[in-house]
Amino acid sequence: MLFIIAFLLQGVFSVQFTFSLKSKELKCFGENIGQNSLVVGAIQGNSSEYSLKIHMPTKKVDNILQYSHSLELQKFSFTTNNTQLNYQFCIHNLANIWMSYNFTLVTGMDAQDFSLLAQKEDLKPLEIHLKKLNGLVNAIELDQKEIEERQSNRFSDVSKISYKIILFSVITLLLMVLTNFVQARKLKQFFKYKKLI
């Protein structure tokens, strides 16, 4: 039962927290977000002297999705792409004083606004709830495919690593046997030379 609840909640992610930054301090938060997922968030500071950078860190290029500063309440939204899982949200305090910030991040079905859809299609509350559940089931199916893909990638990586470890072990064993053989011959020759054998 716990597995089912955890699996259902995996398609929806929501977090809200408050943190403080010293003068000129930078703090980044990272989150793994599924493919083709809607992300909605907001950051609110008690002053407008800060910058927000949302980016996808990679080894080659730092792909910046959004960069803004000098807004007391900064809202953002985007849809994740098909290739990147890790997204970073960096907040930089530009003020000369200690600042407090409130950060909110919502993904998946919780990020979608069904009120406009309800007005447009004249839906009843139960129908809205069914649409949300349908969207949640679709999100769970996508997450399950993503998990299976990650698992197969990890399995292939583990297989490659285990093959390399076995190969290294066999080579090491052969080198040890060869070294033993060479040492035994040298010792035998030394003892023959000294006429101890």
Q: Are 33 and 54 in contact (CB under 8 A)?
A: no
Closest C-alpha to 35, from 96, 86, 81: 81
pLDDT digits (tens, 9 = 90+) for 63-83: 666 666 656 667 878 887 765
Q: What is the mean pLDDT of the chain?
A: 78
- pLDDT at position 182 is 96
Q: Is the pLDDT of residue 3 over 60?
A: no
Q: Specify the higher pLDDT residue, 141 or 162.
A: 162
Q: Specify the higher pLDDT residue, 61 or 5.
A: 61
Q: Are 103 and 91 in contact (CB under 8 A)?
A: yes
Residue ranges in the chain assigned as alpha helix (H): 2-10, 115-121, 125-193
Q: Is the pLDDT of residue 6 over 70?
A: no
| Sheet (strand 73-79) strand order | 13-21, 99-107, 38-45, 73-79
Q: Specify the higher pLDDT residue, 132 or 144.
A: 144
Element (H, E) at 102: strand 99-107
Q: Return the exposure string of 60-69: e unless at least 16 CB atoms fall within 10 Å of the residue's CB, then b.
A: eeeeebeeee
- pLDDT at position 84 is 58
Task: Determine if residue 131 is left, alpha or beta; phi over 0 gives left, psi from -120 to 50 gives alpha, anything else beta.
Answer: alpha
Q: Is the pLDDT of residue 113 over 80?
A: no
If pLDDT is split at 50, 70 and 90, which confidence band does 8 have? very low
**Taking residues 111-134, what's their average pLDDT?**
73
